[in-house]
Structure 1
Amino acid sequence: MEHIQRLEQEIDHLKKTLQEKENELFEMKRNWMPMQSNGIQPEFTTLYSRNENNVTKVQYGDKLPKWAIERYSRQILLPDIGVAGQEKLCNSKVLIVGAGGLGCPAALYLAGAGIGEIGIVDYDKVDLTNIHRQILHAECDQNKSKAESAAETLKSINSNIKITPYTIQLDSSNALDIIYKFDVILDCTDNVPTRYLLNDACVMAKLPLISGSALKMEGQLTVYGYRSERNINEKDVYQGVCYRCVFPNPPPAETVGSCSANGVAGPVPGVIGALQALEAIKLLVGHTHDKLLVERFLIFDGDEVTFRTVKLRSRDLNCPVCSENPTMTKLIDYEVFCKAQAKEKDLDLQILAPEYRINANQLNEQLRNNFNTNQRHLLIDVRSEAEFNMCRIDGAVNYPIEQFRDAKVDEVLKMVNQNSQVTFICRRGNDSQLAAKIVLDEVDEDHKSRVKDVIGGLHAWSENVDRNFPVY
């Protein structure tokens, strides 16, 4: 163990040294070439190449140096980008909020495209469960800041651009100060409060917001808050719909899924994140709103491998944020507004009264006593069948919460009324409360004390009873 800790410390030291050297190299490159801070030469470049017979005049574009032409040539060849478009990309600043399944592929392609500066906001640290989809992080990055891990990888991909990590949680006290520094914002988050925060901040800053989401085998993408006055290629005045126009009220917290609770196939956020980068590139080089996902909602179905777009509702002329006379002129407390926390990966619902809840140690003691005394006790695991097959407590039965109704509920009610103890358990202690409440609402008052759920679920079981039980 001592040897492992020593190696870990040595590796951390080497990583810090490497980062310092990479920063030093970046500064040397920037100072060595007569360029602006974004890496683009301010003047037309004319060089002369001599061969045996004559002197040939060589011109390297309008403002692009030789290395930029060579590096970005494959996208410069596209008529919709060209030299002028590449100059715009190299002079642009993009902020990515969330260095997870969406933010990683988006950042990867934006760095490859030569975006002048990429900002990355993420308060979280790299976990082993992230790596199957968050492709900027590796096993050696566990417990490291996601923003810093992503920044290090991006620097190794393109040393000619600036990467700015923000290892903070974005909230109403700091959002505008950060957002004002950038041209385009990418919402790569996984929670509702931050979505409303980013929308309102972008509307106030008059910046476009490219919003993506991914869960299970599905992904979604659209562009909010587009304004024609920022694009010289637009002929008419035009303002796109904002997030509040489409979703004026937040959904109930318990109805919002997450990758940690519901799962996600790694390539799905990869697809959406790559498309977020594509929309950002198109927007920055000057595509008009009819060629962007403005007031259109892209839906990707990974099961059937299909894409479809649906038209969003028109912009709300009475929207409290983006209308001509907004009633919201400053950022609010979005966790209060959404009745949900922005930082939690998993909900911590409080549905049942304390008398209907037990902790993991109490469950363990109860199971032992029931075994010794042959008392009737039913432990019901309400996770999905796939989760149940991954790991479970011996003796538990699987009644997935999605199927817990009608005959299954009647079966449990019959057991409770026959003096059996019934305890519900799930991964984190949320779905188990929902299942227990279904039974408690139906069971006779005299038998309610026999219905319980486990606080903290199987995570608490692993932490307090069986350390070998997998946490996922």
Structure 2
Amino acid sequence: MERLCTLENEIKELRQKLKEKEDEMSKIRRELFGAQGDFRAWIPGQDQLETSFTDAGTVQCGTLPKWAIERYSRQILLKDIGVHGQMKICQAKVLIVGAGGLGCPSAMYLAAAGVGEIGIIDYDVVEITNIHRQVLHFEQDENVSKAESAASTLRSINSRIKVTPYNLQLDSKNAMDIASQYDVILDCTDNVPTRYMLSDLSCFIKKPLISGSALKMEGQLTIYGYRSESHKDDKGSSYQGPCYRCVFPTPPSPDVVGSCSAHGVAGPVPGVIGILQAMEALKIILDMSPDKLLVERMLIFDAEDMTTRTVRLRKRNPSCATCSDNPTVTQLVDYEAYCSAPANDKKKHEARLRTERRIEEKIKRMTGQSYFGFRTHKEGTQKKWIQDVQKSERRLGPSCNSDFCARSNRRYCKKLTDMDRMEIFQKFWKLEWVEKKNYVRSLIDLVPVKRRRICLKNVQCRKVDSKVYNLFFNSEKVEVCRVTFLNTLGIKEAMVRCWLAQKPMKKTVKNRFKSQNLIDYIDKLPIIDSKCPICLDSGSSVKYVDLNVKNQFHLYKIYVNDTLSKNLKPASRKTFSKVLSVKNLRIFKPKNERDVCDLVQEHNDSRNYNFNDDFYHNDLSLKILPQENRITASQVFELMGKGSPLVIDVRAGPEYQMCHVLNTDNRPIDGLRGSNLDQLVGQVEESRDPVIFICRRGNDSQIAAKLVLDRLPEVHRSKVKDMTGGLHAWAAQVDNNFPVY
């Protein structure tokens, strides 16, 4: 054990040293390379950064440096991003509020995508309960600031971006100064006051807010406060989406708001929503149209049945208190007071601990143990309850010393020994609290008084009955005095009075009408057996609904419409799913005639086909041209040094913009048809120099060359050449600085 503790301490010291060295290296890198450590320094229009030449002056890398092309090439290839879009991403600034289950995955993917600057705000420290969903933190980060831990991990993912951690509680005082430095805000919090604050903040600084939430097995995502000058609405004005107040004008009751700590959450659920938040942030940075964004729409993800649906939200409210043309809320306010709920989960945690302690002390009190009671403490005009008064445990009291009880023939006070009384005491305190109440009520008989006396002030006495106390002794109910009764059970007279005054509450029976209505509806659905002979032979009891429905959600919509038409209230979707599961009913829509089983894919007829890699992927080493029409990258470089051959790059436009060899002509292979192909063939016939086709790996260029060769006369065929291995071969044989992507 001592050796283990020593190793743990050594590892902590090494990690601390490693962190110091990494910080020192980042500092030196910024001093040595200056702007090269921050991609936002590469701004279009600076000629010295647009072009990168080889010694022969034959390579151009456009507006992106080599490392950016190699790193982000897979997303640059997308037509929605391209070189221009990647420049926008690398110059963008995103603020993430909350480094938890939503903030971690969104920050991770934004950093990987190359967002130039990421600010991450969180006041909390890493706890072991966070690790299962907050993937930027590790076991060794326990009790470390979440913002610092997340920033450290993000820097290890992408050292080219700037990450700014804010280890503080975002509130009305500091929110404006921090958020105004960023372009997009991500709401990754889990409390209502912060949501209202961030919504108002996004309206004041005119920055979009991407709001996500996750609880249990469900997640939600939408965009608030979206504004766009480049996109117009139906009236021709600048597009403006709703804010959080437009959709939820008044805050909900704190009692109906859940949290991960109280209700739990499945780790992948916030991961899915957080990644989608990152995707929406990238789309906003790329200035995509509002109809492609979650503006005026909310995406709802249900992991229980793996379904997603999008619901339409309210449009922007022209009289909204925050985002209207004449707002009534013009500055950030106290949102904890406005929502009657704490914005800091630590306050909730402390309140929950107080509640848990109160429950724990209550259990001790109800089982007769020593516990802490309450006392009142005045602070000004307010009264505060403090639970710190030590109460002793319940004990067996002394026996009765009354002479009247000793002479009485009816009372058993003197006949009960201390052993008998101890047995009754122990049996009583083993009962549940409700059973204790009923036990005491059953032992006390209320006898009406014969004559109600007149008090001193000529007022009739309030006493309406007398109490006759009994105990169970030898399975019989025997009468005892009040002192013996109270001391034997270890209770006080005030408690007895309270129990006798209260009547037991009647249990309310839950109305099962909606569930029964749903069961009757499902029982009337047309049901068929499985069409899979293998499942039937194995004794499978799965049944299928014989209706033309796409999925379970489609069937639920039909059920809701049918139920509402009968003026009945439908059951919830969760109950609907549970009833189908209990009845072992499934919904299966075959894709083709061979698709007969949804339980085991191998049961379908497609099991007879051999889907190997060759079935899906073409051979990357095409050899469709004769050897006389092939040429190496080194030979192309020599020809370019001697003359000016016609070099045709058949890659797509975004790839060509990323990087290309100088003095080449871009003719995307997708466009080589019809008149474009005829024009190229004529250009080859007129050329006196070789015509060389190039692409990334040497496959598309062969296809393009083959299209031209098939249309050329025999006399011109020798001009057409394909560069073997494409630009990958160029980077290996000619210029090592050429980006390989």
Shorter-chain TM-score bucket reads 0.7 to 0.9
* Aligned equivalent of 1:48: 53
Q: Specify whether residues 169 and 119 from structure 1 end up closer, same or farther in structure 2 by C-alpha distance, changes over 3 A only.
A: same
1:328 and 2:329 aligned:
yes
Cα distance in 2 for residues equivalent to 1:162 and 1:4? 38
Measured against aligned partners, the alpha-carbon deviations of 1:114-146 in whole angstroms (never above 9, x if no partner) come to 011111100111111110100011111111111
* Aligned equivalent of 1:408: none
Aligned partners of 2:367 and 2:429 also within 8 Å: no
* Aligned equivalent of 1:249: 250
Measured against aligned partners, the alpha-carbon deviations of 1:300-347 in whole angstroms (never above 9, x if no partner) come to 000111110001011111111111111111111111111111112546
Measured against aligned partners, the alpha-carbon deviations of 1:403-456 in whole angstroms (never above 9, x if no partner) come to xxxxxxxxx6x8754549xxxxxxxxxxxxxxxxxxxxxx98724899xxxxxx
Aligned partners of 1:203 and 1:322 also within 8 Å: yes
Measured against aligned partners, the alpha-carbon deviations of 1:345-376 in whole angstroms (never above 9, x if no partner) come to 54638999x99994565456549869971125
* Aligned equivalent of 1:187: 187
* Aligned equivalent of 2:218: 218
Measure how far apart 1:15 and its partner are: 3.4
1:375 and 2:428 aligned:
yes
* Aligned equivalent of 1:84: 84
* Aligned equivalent of 1:159: 159
Cα distance in 1 for residues equivalent to 2:223 and 2:358? 47
Cα distance in 2 for residues equivalent to 1:300 and 1:170? 28
Q: Residue 328 of structure 2: SS of its match in structure 1?
A: coil
Structural RMSD (CA):
3.3
Aligned partners of 2:126 and 2:143 also within 8 Å: yes
Measure how far apart 1:19 and its partner are: 2.8
Q: Residue 275 of structure 1: SS of its match in structure 2?
A: helix
Superposed counterparts of 1:2-401, under 5 Å: 10-33=10-33, 35=35, 38-39=38-39, 40-42=41-43, 43-44=46-47, 45-50=50-55, 55-62=56-63, 64-229=64-229, 231=230, 236-344=237-345, 346=348, 348=351, 358-359=361-362, 362=365, 365-366=368-369, 373-375=426-428
Aligned partners of 2:151 and 2:165 also within 8 Å: yes
Measure how far apart 1:17 and its partner are: 3.1
Q: Specify whether residues 320 and 73 from structure 1 end up closer, same or farther in structure 2 by C-alpha distance, changes over 3 A only.
A: same
- Unmatched 5+ residue regions in structure 2? 371-392, 396-422, 442-497, 506-741
Give me the TM-score of the superposition, normalised by structure 2.
0.49
* Aligned equivalent of 2:469: none
What is the percent sequence identity of the aligned residues? 56
Q: Residue 238 of structure 2: SS of its match in structure 1?
A: coil
Cα distance in 2 for residues equivalent to 1:379 and 1:299? 44
* Aligned equivalent of 1:383: none
Measure how far apart 1:20 and its partner are: 3.1
Range moving further from structure 2, 251-260 or 363-372: 363-372
Which amino acid is 1:223 matched to? I
Q: How many residues align?
A: 389
Q: Residue 22 of structure 2: SS of its match in structure 1?
A: helix
Measure how far apart 1:18 and its partner are: 2.6
Q: Specify whether residues 326 and 7 from structure 1 end up closer, same or farther in structure 2 by C-alpha distance, changes over 3 A only.
A: farther
Measure how far apart 1:46 and its partner are: 2.5
Aligned partners of 1:356 and 1:449 also within 8 Å: no
Measure how far apart 1:35 and its partner are: 3.3
Which amino acid is 2:254 matched to? A
Q: Specify whether residues 373 and 322 from structure 1 end up closer, same or farther in structure 2 by C-alpha distance, changes over 3 A only.
A: same
Which amino acid is 2:426 matched to? T
Q: Specify whether residues 35 and 61 from structure 1 end up closer, same or farther in structure 2 by C-alpha distance, changes over 3 A only.
A: farther
1:446 and 2:501 aligned:
yes
Q: Residue 329 of structure 1: SS of its match in structure 2?
A: coil
Aligned partners of 2:212 and 2:277 also within 8 Å: yes
Bigger CA radius of gyration: 2
Measure how far apart 1:248 and its partner are: 1.1
Measured against aligned partners, the alpha-carbon deviations of 1:138-190 in whole angstroms (never above 9, x if no partner) come to 11111111111111111111000011111111111111111011110000001
Aligned partners of 1:233 and 1:288 also within 8 Å: no
Measured against aligned partners, the alpha-carbon deviations of 1:225-270 in whole angstroms (never above 9, x if no partner) come to 00012x5799741111000111111111111111111111100000
Measure how far apart 1:29 and its partner are: 3.5
Range moving further from structure 2, 39-48 or 98-107: 39-48
Measure how far apart 1:284 and its partner are: 0.4
Measure how far apart 1:96 and its partner are: 0.5
Aligned partners of 1:38 and 1:91 also within 8 Å: no
Superposed counterparts of 1:418-433, under 5 Å: 418-419=439-440
* Aligned equivalent of 1:395: none
Cα distance in 2 for residues equivalent to 1:378 and 1:60? 82
Q: Specify whether residues 448 and 274 from structure 1 end up closer, same or farther in structure 2 by C-alpha distance, changes over 3 A only.
A: farther
